[in-house]
A = this chain, B = another copy of it.
Amino acid sequence: MSDFSVTILGCGSAKPSLRHYTSAQIVNHRGNLFLIDCGEGVQRAMLHNGISMHKIGHIFLSHLHGDHCLGLVGLISTLGLGQRTGKIVIHACSDAETVFRPLFDFFCPQLSMEVEFQAFDHTKSEVIYEDRSLEVLTIPLHHRVPCAGFLFREKQKPRHLLVEECQKYNIPTAYYQSITLGNDWTDGNGTVIPNASLTTDPSPSKSYAYCSDTIYAESIVPVIKGCDLLYHEATFANDLAATAKERGHSTALEAGKIASLAQVKQLVIGHFSSRYDGDGETELLAEAKSVFENTELAKERKIFEL
């Protein structure tokens, strides 16, 4: 298993169905769990997936439609009952704290942990989270309400050290980290050993883009360009393109077009309207594949490794 994966907890749209839970996903990066969206039933979906909800440190809400956030109060309540300490950060548009803070106060007044809201500006792409190896950027989307997608992008990884080469030049191990960052080595005689002799290229940095909910918007292409995995909503088939646009959604064909324009490596489509059964979703897949071959359907419990 890779150290960067996406688990689908729910990929249905607003109207409830037995096929799907509403929107929620877990991004696991080196054991750090990030929750994207938090539809009703998210706790049950995590139990189904064997995911320890207490390990979630950051929650990212794309927008404040119920099917993307109505599981939040129950989740925070459970975490707060379960000896979760420290802090949990909710990244969302500024209305989120106005809506949810009173609910946390009412339904879970004695939380064992701190809940912090960090508001983002959904109109521009900016870094809203970073740690040593990962950063998360917003992706401005176009929906009926303020909405952003999220780009999870690994930072450049350290170069691979050629230990035997370093030993040949008697480089002290204390300098190894500096060399993995690309620095040359100058020995006691002033001779410069170029970094290229001491290291090889690092593993590629991977990136994952979550884009839901949104109309077809080529404006997102520069932000997600070349990402390894793109989750793009495909609420409808293209015969309902007008409906999709009117409701702020995309069609499967449009998701494929975005994937193609952005030259991503793999596309996953989701946020399916409940009007589509298994056969209907197969048709959505075929539609997306007609413009972008490497496409998969989202499905609860599927894990996509980057």
Tell me the A residues contacting B by CB distance below 8 Å.
14-18, 40-41, 43-44, 47-48, 64-67, 70-71, 73-74, 77-78, 81-82, 95, 99, 102-103, 106-108
Determine the chain B residues whose CB is within 8 A of the CB of A64 once the complex forms: 106-107
Check A71–B108 contact: CB distance below 8 A.
Answer: no
Closest to A69 in B: B107
Q: What distance in Å separates the Cβ of A17 from its nearest Cβ neighbour in chain B?
A: 7
Determine the chain B residues whose CB is within 8 A of the CB of A44 once the complex forms: 16, 18, 41
Total identical chains: 2
Check A18–B47 contact: CB distance below 8 A.
Answer: yes
**Top-5 shortest CB links A-B:** A16-B43, A66-B107, A40-B74, A66-B77, A70-B74
Check A108–B66 contact: CB distance below 8 A.
Answer: yes
Closest to A43 in B: B16
Determine the chain B residues whose CB is within 8 A of the CB of A17 once the complex forms: 47
Determine the chain B residues whose CB is within 8 A of the CB of A70 once the complex forms: 40, 70, 73-74, 107
Determine the chain B residues whose CB is within 8 A of the CB of A14 once the complex forms: 77-78, 81
A to B CB contacts below 8 Å, 11 in the list = A14-B78, A16-B44, A16-B47, A40-B40, A40-B43, A41-B44, A65-B107, A66-B74, A66-B107, A70-B74, A70-B107
Q: What distance in Å separates the Cβ of A101 from its nearest Cβ neighbour in chain B?
A: 12
